Protein backbone atom coordinates (compact mmCIF):
# COMPACT_ATOMS: atom_id res chain seq x y z
CA UNK A 1 0.00 0.00 0.00
CA UNK A 2 2.72 2.42 1.02
CA UNK A 3 4.76 2.09 -2.14
CA UNK A 4 1.77 3.21 -4.19
CA UNK A 5 1.56 6.61 -2.58
CA UNK A 6 4.16 8.33 -4.84
CA UNK A 7 1.91 7.68 -7.84
CA UNK A 8 -1.00 9.51 -6.31
CA UNK A 9 0.05 13.07 -7.23
CA UNK A 10 0.47 11.96 -10.82
CA UNK A 11 -3.07 10.63 -11.02
CA UNK A 12 -4.42 13.60 -9.13
CA UNK A 13 -2.81 15.94 -11.64
CA UNK A 14 -4.06 13.87 -14.54
CA UNK A 15 -7.55 13.87 -13.03
CA UNK A 16 -7.47 17.64 -12.62
CA UNK A 17 -6.38 18.06 -16.24
CA UNK A 18 -9.25 15.93 -17.55
CA UNK A 19 -11.65 17.72 -15.25
CA UNK A 20 -10.61 21.23 -16.28
CA UNK A 21 -10.89 20.46 -19.96
CA UNK A 22 -14.36 19.02 -19.48
CA UNK A 23 -15.78 21.83 -17.39
CA UNK A 24 -16.33 24.93 -19.45
CA UNK A 25 -19.31 27.24 -19.31
CA UNK A 26 -20.15 28.25 -22.87
CA UNK A 27 -23.58 29.22 -21.71
CA UNK A 28 -25.26 29.71 -18.42
CA UNK A 29 -26.27 26.46 -16.77
CA UNK A 30 -29.65 26.66 -15.11
CA UNK A 31 -29.15 25.21 -11.69
CA UNK A 32 -32.54 25.39 -10.06
CA UNK A 33 -34.41 23.10 -12.41
CA UNK A 34 -35.20 19.52 -11.49
CA UNK A 35 -32.20 17.33 -12.06
CA UNK A 36 -31.71 14.03 -13.84
CA UNK A 37 -29.71 11.76 -11.49
CA UNK A 38 -26.21 11.09 -12.74
CA UNK A 39 -26.72 13.10 -15.93
CA UNK A 40 -26.08 16.72 -14.95
CA UNK A 41 -22.87 18.57 -15.79
CA UNK A 42 -21.10 20.15 -12.84
CA UNK A 43 -21.38 23.94 -12.70
CA UNK A 44 -17.97 25.51 -13.44
CA UNK A 45 -16.56 27.84 -10.81
CA UNK A 46 -13.16 29.45 -10.40
CA UNK A 47 -11.39 29.85 -7.07
CA UNK A 48 -8.70 32.36 -6.30
CA UNK A 49 -7.00 33.68 -3.22
CA UNK A 50 -8.12 31.01 -0.76
CA UNK A 51 -5.44 28.90 0.87
CA UNK A 52 -4.91 26.03 3.25
CA UNK A 53 -7.73 24.54 5.26
CA UNK A 54 -10.27 27.13 4.11
CA UNK A 55 -9.58 26.32 0.46
CA UNK A 56 -9.88 22.58 1.16
CA UNK A 57 -13.26 23.14 2.86
CA UNK A 58 -14.54 25.31 -0.01
CA UNK A 59 -13.43 22.76 -2.60
CA UNK A 60 -15.06 19.83 -0.82
CA UNK A 61 -18.31 21.70 -0.14
CA UNK A 62 -18.58 22.77 -3.79
CA UNK A 63 -17.59 19.39 -5.23
CA UNK A 64 -20.24 17.45 -3.31
CA UNK A 65 -22.86 20.04 -4.24
CA UNK A 66 -22.36 19.84 -7.98
CA UNK A 67 -19.57 22.28 -8.85
CA UNK A 68 -16.25 21.74 -10.59
CA UNK A 69 -13.22 23.99 -10.83
CA UNK A 70 -11.96 25.78 -13.89
CA UNK A 71 -10.29 29.04 -14.95
CA UNK A 72 -11.95 32.45 -14.48
CA UNK A 73 -12.39 32.73 -18.28
CA UNK A 74 -14.53 29.59 -18.44
CA UNK A 75 -16.31 29.69 -15.08
CA UNK A 76 -19.94 30.53 -14.48
CA UNK A 77 -19.20 31.84 -11.00
CA UNK A 78 -16.02 33.51 -9.83
CA UNK A 79 -15.17 32.86 -6.19
CA UNK A 80 -12.33 34.81 -4.68
CA UNK A 81 -11.11 35.95 -1.33
CA UNK A 82 -8.52 35.31 1.31
CA UNK A 83 -8.15 33.11 4.34
CA UNK A 84 -5.61 34.34 6.81
CA UNK A 85 -6.81 34.79 10.37
CA UNK A 86 -10.34 35.25 9.08
CA UNK A 87 -12.04 34.60 5.79
CA UNK A 88 -13.05 37.16 3.23
CA UNK A 89 -15.10 35.87 0.34
CA UNK A 90 -16.65 37.18 -2.84
CA UNK A 91 -18.80 35.37 -5.36
CA UNK A 92 -19.66 36.90 -8.71
CA UNK A 93 -21.76 35.71 -11.62
CA UNK A 94 -19.48 35.94 -14.67
CA UNK A 95 -22.41 36.32 -17.08
CA UNK A 96 -24.40 39.17 -15.54
CA UNK A 97 -21.54 40.51 -13.39
CA UNK A 98 -23.77 40.53 -10.30
CA UNK A 99 -21.86 40.41 -7.02
CA UNK A 100 -23.63 37.59 -5.15
CA UNK A 101 -21.62 37.54 -1.93
CA UNK A 102 -19.15 40.04 -0.58
CA UNK A 103 -18.41 39.40 3.05
CA UNK A 104 -15.72 39.08 5.61
CA UNK A 105 -16.26 36.59 8.37
CA UNK A 106 -15.14 36.44 11.96
CA UNK A 107 -15.75 34.06 14.81
CA UNK A 108 -15.87 30.29 15.30
CA UNK A 109 -13.09 28.84 13.11
CA UNK A 110 -11.74 29.31 9.61
CA UNK A 111 -13.39 26.01 8.70
CA UNK A 112 -16.79 27.25 9.79
CA UNK A 113 -16.29 30.57 8.07
CA UNK A 114 -15.42 28.72 4.84
CA UNK A 115 -18.52 26.51 5.16
CA UNK A 116 -20.61 29.64 5.81
CA UNK A 117 -19.18 31.37 2.74
CA UNK A 118 -20.16 28.47 0.47
CA UNK A 119 -23.60 28.35 2.12
CA UNK A 120 -23.98 32.12 1.49
CA UNK A 121 -22.99 31.63 -2.15
CA UNK A 122 -25.51 28.80 -2.57
CA UNK A 123 -28.24 30.83 -0.86
CA UNK A 124 -27.52 33.71 -3.26
CA UNK A 125 -28.23 31.42 -6.23
CA UNK A 126 -31.35 30.02 -4.61
CA UNK A 127 -29.98 26.82 -3.15
CA UNK A 128 -29.70 25.35 0.30
CA UNK A 129 -26.13 24.65 1.39
CA UNK A 130 -25.16 21.75 3.63
CA UNK A 131 -21.89 23.21 4.89
CA UNK A 132 -22.98 23.48 8.51
CA UNK A 133 -24.88 20.21 8.85
CA UNK A 134 -24.00 17.11 10.81
CA UNK A 135 -23.92 13.37 10.31
CA UNK A 136 -24.18 10.50 12.76
CA UNK A 137 -22.68 7.10 12.01
CA UNK A 138 -21.56 3.81 13.46
CA UNK A 139 -17.83 3.81 14.22
CA UNK A 140 -16.11 0.45 14.59
CA UNK A 141 -17.65 -2.98 14.12
CA UNK A 142 -18.95 -5.95 16.03
CA UNK A 143 -18.79 -5.63 19.79
CA UNK A 144 -16.38 -2.69 19.44
CA UNK A 145 -18.71 -0.13 17.99
CA UNK A 146 -19.92 3.29 19.12
CA UNK A 147 -22.27 5.88 17.69
CA UNK A 148 -20.42 9.04 16.63
CA UNK A 149 -21.47 12.42 15.34
CA UNK A 150 -19.40 14.83 13.23
CA UNK A 151 -19.65 17.69 10.77
CA UNK A 152 -20.82 16.25 7.44
CA UNK A 153 -17.21 16.27 6.20
CA UNK A 154 -16.09 14.18 9.19
CA UNK A 155 -14.54 17.06 11.13
CA UNK A 156 -14.85 17.02 14.91
CA UNK A 157 -16.00 13.40 15.16
CA UNK A 158 -17.06 12.54 18.67
CA UNK A 159 -18.45 9.33 20.13
CA UNK A 160 -21.79 9.84 21.88
CA UNK A 161 -21.86 6.33 23.33
CA UNK A 162 -19.32 4.43 25.40
CA UNK A 163 -20.98 1.05 25.34
CA UNK A 164 -18.11 -1.19 24.22
CA UNK A 165 -20.86 -3.34 22.80
CA UNK A 166 -22.81 -3.61 19.59
CA UNK A 167 -24.55 -0.36 18.67
CA UNK A 168 -26.14 0.19 15.28
CA UNK A 169 -28.29 2.18 12.89
CA UNK A 170 -28.19 5.75 14.29
CA UNK A 171 -30.90 8.05 12.91
CA UNK A 172 -31.37 11.74 13.70
CA UNK A 173 -34.68 12.82 15.15
CA UNK A 174 -35.65 15.60 12.73
CA UNK A 175 -35.62 19.01 14.34
CA UNK A 176 -34.21 17.76 17.63
CA UNK A 177 -30.65 17.39 18.85
CA UNK A 178 -31.35 13.72 19.41
CA UNK A 179 -30.75 10.32 17.87
CA UNK A 180 -32.49 6.96 17.85
CA UNK A 181 -30.26 3.91 17.53
CA UNK A 182 -30.01 0.24 18.34
CA UNK A 183 -27.96 -1.02 21.26
CA UNK A 184 -27.20 -4.44 22.74
CA UNK A 185 -26.39 -2.88 26.15
CA UNK A 186 -29.02 -5.10 27.82
CA UNK A 187 -27.84 -8.26 26.01
CA UNK A 188 -30.42 -8.03 23.24
CA UNK A 189 -30.95 -5.56 20.41
CA UNK A 190 -33.19 -2.76 21.68
CA UNK A 191 -34.07 0.68 20.33
CA UNK A 192 -33.18 3.80 22.33
CA UNK A 193 -33.82 7.53 22.04
CA UNK A 194 -30.78 9.59 23.06
CA UNK A 195 -31.32 13.31 23.77
CA UNK A 196 -27.88 14.78 23.10
CA UNK A 197 -28.64 18.00 24.97
CA UNK A 198 -29.35 16.31 28.27
CA UNK A 199 -27.71 12.91 27.76
CA UNK A 200 -30.99 11.27 28.62
CA UNK A 201 -31.38 7.78 27.18
CA UNK A 202 -34.95 6.48 26.87
CA UNK A 203 -35.80 2.91 25.87
CA UNK A 204 -38.14 2.98 22.87
CA UNK A 205 -38.54 -0.75 22.23
CA UNK A 206 -37.24 -3.61 24.36
CA UNK A 207 -39.64 -6.34 23.40
CA UNK A 208 -38.70 -10.02 23.27
CA UNK A 209 -36.74 -10.88 20.15
CA UNK A 210 -34.96 -8.22 18.14
CA UNK A 211 -35.82 -4.50 18.14
CA UNK A 212 -33.92 -2.89 15.27
CA UNK A 213 -33.61 -0.22 12.55
CA UNK A 214 -35.33 2.86 14.08
CA UNK A 215 -36.47 5.64 11.70
CA UNK A 216 -37.87 8.81 13.34
CA UNK A 217 -40.74 10.53 11.51
CA UNK A 218 -40.14 13.89 9.76
CA UNK A 219 -41.89 15.78 12.60
CA UNK A 220 -39.86 13.93 15.22
CA UNK A 221 -42.95 12.65 17.03
CA UNK A 222 -42.92 9.00 15.97
CA UNK A 223 -40.52 6.22 15.12
CA UNK A 224 -40.84 3.38 12.62
CA UNK A 225 -38.84 0.25 13.45
CA UNK A 226 -38.52 -3.49 12.91
CA UNK A 227 -39.59 -5.76 15.77
CA UNK A 228 -39.97 -9.54 16.06
CA UNK A 229 -42.15 -9.63 19.18
CA UNK A 230 -44.98 -11.35 17.31
CA UNK A 231 -42.74 -14.24 16.29
CA UNK A 232 -42.07 -12.75 12.86
CA UNK A 233 -40.03 -9.79 11.65
CA UNK A 234 -42.47 -6.93 11.03
CA UNK A 235 -42.74 -3.14 10.71
CA UNK A 236 -44.09 -1.15 13.66
CA UNK A 237 -44.58 2.50 14.53
CA UNK A 238 -44.62 4.10 18.01
CA UNK A 239 -44.42 7.52 19.64
CA UNK A 240 -41.15 9.19 20.64
CA UNK A 241 -39.36 9.33 22.93
CA UNK A 242 -40.81 6.53 25.06
CA UNK A 243 -42.16 4.07 22.48
CA UNK A 244 -45.75 4.35 23.64
CA UNK A 245 -48.74 3.83 21.33
CA UNK A 246 -47.13 0.91 19.50
CA UNK A 247 -48.88 -0.19 16.29
CA UNK A 248 -48.05 -3.03 13.93
CA UNK A 249 -48.05 -2.03 10.24
CA UNK A 250 -47.09 -5.25 8.43
CA UNK A 251 -47.80 -8.91 9.08
CA UNK A 252 -45.72 -11.31 7.07
CA UNK A 253 -43.48 -14.28 7.61
CA UNK A 254 -40.94 -12.76 5.28
CA UNK A 255 -38.54 -9.98 6.11
CA UNK A 256 -39.04 -6.29 6.36
CA UNK A 257 -36.03 -4.04 6.88
CA UNK A 258 -34.73 -0.46 6.89
CA UNK A 259 -37.85 1.73 7.16
CA UNK A 260 -37.84 5.44 6.22
CA UNK A 261 -40.56 8.11 5.97
CA UNK A 262 -41.98 10.26 3.20
CA UNK A 263 -41.27 13.91 4.12
CA UNK A 264 -45.02 14.59 4.59
CA UNK A 265 -45.14 11.81 7.20
CA UNK A 266 -47.92 9.98 5.33
CA UNK A 267 -45.95 6.92 4.19
CA UNK A 268 -43.34 4.58 5.58
CA UNK A 269 -41.13 3.00 2.93
CA UNK A 270 -39.23 -0.21 3.61
CA UNK A 271 -37.43 -3.06 1.88
CA UNK A 272 -39.21 -6.38 2.03
CA UNK A 273 -40.36 -9.55 0.43
CA UNK A 274 -44.11 -9.76 0.02
CA UNK A 275 -45.79 -12.47 -2.05
CA UNK A 276 -42.36 -13.82 -2.98
CA UNK A 277 -41.40 -10.42 -4.40
CA UNK A 278 -38.32 -8.62 -3.03
CA UNK A 279 -38.97 -4.92 -3.57
CA UNK A 280 -39.34 -1.49 -2.01
CA UNK A 281 -42.77 -1.01 -0.48
CA UNK A 282 -44.63 1.81 1.18
CA UNK A 283 -47.38 1.52 3.73
CA UNK A 284 -49.58 4.35 5.08
CA UNK A 285 -48.15 5.46 8.43
CA UNK A 286 -51.68 5.27 9.84
CA UNK A 287 -52.00 1.67 8.67
CA UNK A 288 -53.15 0.05 5.43
CA UNK A 289 -52.06 -2.19 2.59
CA UNK A 290 -48.45 -2.07 1.35
CA UNK A 291 -47.97 -0.55 -2.10
CA UNK A 292 -45.01 -1.65 -4.21
CA UNK A 293 -42.55 1.00 -5.43
CA UNK A 294 -41.21 -0.31 -8.74
CA UNK A 295 -37.45 -0.04 -9.27
CA UNK A 296 -37.10 -1.10 -12.91
CA UNK A 297 -33.67 -2.08 -14.11
CA UNK A 298 -32.14 -3.11 -10.77
CA UNK A 299 -32.65 -6.04 -8.40
CA UNK A 300 -32.68 -6.72 -4.65
CA UNK A 301 -33.41 -3.17 -3.44
CA UNK A 302 -32.79 -2.42 0.25
CA UNK A 303 -31.96 0.49 2.60
CA UNK A 304 -34.29 3.14 1.10
CA UNK A 305 -34.12 6.81 2.10
CA UNK A 306 -36.76 9.31 0.89
CA UNK A 307 -35.42 12.74 -0.15
CA UNK A 308 -36.51 15.72 1.99
CA UNK A 309 -38.10 17.37 -1.09
CA UNK A 310 -40.21 14.23 -1.57
CA UNK A 311 -39.07 13.58 -5.13
CA UNK A 312 -36.61 10.70 -4.87
CA UNK A 313 -35.85 7.50 -3.04
CA UNK A 314 -32.18 6.55 -2.84
CA UNK A 315 -31.47 2.90 -2.01
CA UNK A 316 -28.97 0.05 -2.22
CA UNK A 317 -29.34 -2.54 -4.91
CA UNK A 318 -27.47 -5.83 -4.84
CA UNK A 319 -26.47 -7.03 -8.28
CA UNK A 320 -23.19 -8.81 -7.73
CA UNK A 321 -21.85 -5.90 -5.71
CA UNK A 322 -23.82 -3.14 -4.05
CA UNK A 323 -24.89 -0.07 -6.01
CA UNK A 324 -26.33 3.22 -4.81
CA UNK A 325 -29.44 3.84 -6.93
CA UNK A 326 -32.16 6.47 -7.12
CA UNK A 327 -35.73 6.13 -8.31
CA UNK A 328 -38.58 8.66 -8.45
CA UNK A 329 -40.51 8.39 -5.19
CA UNK A 330 -43.57 7.04 -7.01
CA UNK A 331 -41.39 4.33 -8.55
CA UNK A 332 -40.13 3.88 -12.10
CA UNK A 333 -36.79 3.33 -13.73
CA UNK A 334 -33.98 3.20 -11.20
CA UNK A 335 -30.64 4.82 -11.93
CA UNK A 336 -27.53 3.08 -10.56
CA UNK A 337 -24.97 5.74 -9.60
CA UNK A 338 -21.89 4.39 -7.80
CA UNK A 339 -20.74 1.29 -5.91
CA UNK A 340 -21.75 1.53 -2.27
CA UNK A 341 -24.45 0.90 0.29
CA UNK A 342 -26.60 2.45 3.03
CA UNK A 343 -27.24 5.94 1.58
CA UNK A 344 -28.70 8.88 3.54
CA UNK A 345 -29.89 12.15 1.94
CA UNK A 346 -28.56 15.55 2.92
CA UNK A 347 -31.14 18.29 3.60
CA UNK A 348 -30.48 19.66 0.08
CA UNK A 349 -32.06 16.55 -1.54
CA UNK A 350 -29.09 16.15 -3.87
CA UNK A 351 -26.06 15.11 -1.80
CA UNK A 352 -25.92 11.66 -0.21
CA UNK A 353 -23.59 10.14 2.38
CA UNK A 354 -23.03 6.41 1.86
CA UNK A 355 -20.71 3.52 2.67
CA UNK A 356 -17.94 2.06 0.53
CA UNK A 357 -16.67 -1.40 1.36
CA UNK A 358 -13.19 -2.73 0.64
CA UNK A 359 -12.20 -6.33 0.01
CA UNK A 360 -11.09 -6.97 3.58
CA UNK A 361 -14.39 -6.03 5.15
CA UNK A 362 -13.39 -2.42 5.86
CA UNK A 363 -16.04 0.26 5.40
CA UNK A 364 -15.69 4.01 4.95
CA UNK A 365 -18.05 6.94 4.43
CA UNK A 366 -18.20 8.83 1.15
CA UNK A 367 -20.22 11.73 -0.21
CA UNK A 368 -22.06 11.63 -3.54
CA UNK A 369 -23.63 14.47 -5.49
CA UNK A 370 -26.54 12.63 -7.12
CA UNK A 371 -27.07 14.92 -10.17
CA UNK A 372 -23.40 14.92 -11.24
CA UNK A 373 -22.21 11.63 -9.67
CA UNK A 374 -19.22 13.50 -8.20
CA UNK A 375 -17.90 11.74 -5.09
CA UNK A 376 -15.51 12.52 -2.25
CA UNK A 377 -14.40 10.30 0.59
CA UNK A 378 -15.02 11.53 4.13
CA UNK A 379 -11.28 11.17 4.55
CA UNK A 380 -11.04 12.78 7.98
CA UNK A 381 -12.47 9.68 9.60
CA UNK A 382 -10.19 6.73 10.23
CA UNK A 383 -11.02 3.10 10.92
CA UNK A 384 -14.24 1.35 10.02
CA UNK A 385 -17.30 3.56 9.73
CA UNK A 386 -20.78 2.73 8.46
CA UNK A 387 -24.53 3.39 8.71
CA UNK A 388 -24.43 7.18 8.18
CA UNK A 389 -27.46 9.37 8.91
CA UNK A 390 -27.46 12.97 7.69
CA UNK A 391 -29.19 15.37 10.10
CA UNK A 392 -32.21 17.06 8.55
Partner 1 sequence: MKVSKLTYLLVIALALTFASTGCRKRPTGITDIKGSTTRIGEPGPTGIPTGRTFSPDPGISSQPGLGGGAQSGKYDPANCTQNREALAAHTVHFEFDSAVVKSSEKANVEAAAAYLKANPNVGLLVEGNCDERGTEEYNRSLGERRALAARELIVASGVEADRVVTVSFGKDKPEESGHDEAAWAKNRRDVFVVLIPK
Q: Measured from the CB of residue 136, what is the shortest distance to partner 1 in angstroms?
A: 9
Q: Measured from the CB of residue 24, what is the shortest distance to partner 1 in angstroms?
A: 31
User: What is the rounded CA–CA span in Å between residue 138 and residue 156?
Assistant: 15
Residue with Cβ nearer partner 1 (61 or 303):
303
DSSP assignment of 287-303, as one string? ----EEE-EET--SEEE
User: What is the rounded CA–CA span in Å between residue 58 and residue 240?
Assistant: 37
Cβ–Cβ contacts within 10 Å for residue 232, how many? 15
Distance of CA 61 to the CA centre of its chain: 14
Residue with Cβ nearer partner 1 (87 or 285):
87
Residue with Cβ nearer partner 1 (174 or 217):
174
Q: Measured from the CB of residue 212, what is the shortest distance to partner 1 in angstroms?
A: 5
Residue with Cβ nearer partner 1 (6 or 231):
231
| DSSP state for residue 265 in the 8-state scheme | S
Report the relative pairing of strands 332-333 and 295-296 from DSSP bridges. Answer: parallel
Q: Measured from the CB of residue 7, what is the shortest distance to partner 1 in angstroms?
A: 26
Report the relative pairing of strands 67-69 and 87-93 from DSSP bridges. Answer: unpaired
Residue with Cβ nearer partner 1 (13 or 98):
98
SS3 246: coil
Asked if residues 269 and 304 have their Cβ atoms less than 8 Å apart, the reply is: yes
Q: Measured from the CB of residue 387, what is the shortest distance to partner 1 in angstroms?
A: 6
Residue with Cβ nearer partner 1 (42 or 170):
170
Q: Measured from the CB of residue 26, what is the shortest distance to partner 1 in angstroms?
A: 31
Residue with Cβ nearer partner 1 (110 or 291):
110
What's the CA angle centered on 360, arms 359 and 362, to 5 degrees? 95
Cβ–Cβ contacts within 10 Å for residue 93, how many? 16
DSSP assignment of 207-264, as one string? -SS-EEEEEE-TTSSEEEEEE-TTSS-EEEEEETTT--S-EE----SS-EEEEEE-TT
Q: Measured from the CB of residue 88, what is the shortest distance to partner 1 in angstroms?
A: 8
Amino acid sequence: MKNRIPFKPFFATLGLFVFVSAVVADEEILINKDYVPGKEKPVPVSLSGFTGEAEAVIRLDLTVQGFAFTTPETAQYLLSGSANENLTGRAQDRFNKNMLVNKSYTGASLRRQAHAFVDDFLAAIGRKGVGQTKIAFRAGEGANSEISIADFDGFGAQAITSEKNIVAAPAWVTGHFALCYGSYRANHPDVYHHDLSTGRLTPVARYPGSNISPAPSPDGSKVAMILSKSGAVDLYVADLPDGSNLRQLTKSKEDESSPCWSPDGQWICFAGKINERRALWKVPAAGGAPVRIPTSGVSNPSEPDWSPDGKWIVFTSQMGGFEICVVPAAGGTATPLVSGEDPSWAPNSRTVVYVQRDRNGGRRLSLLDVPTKQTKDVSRLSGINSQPSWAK
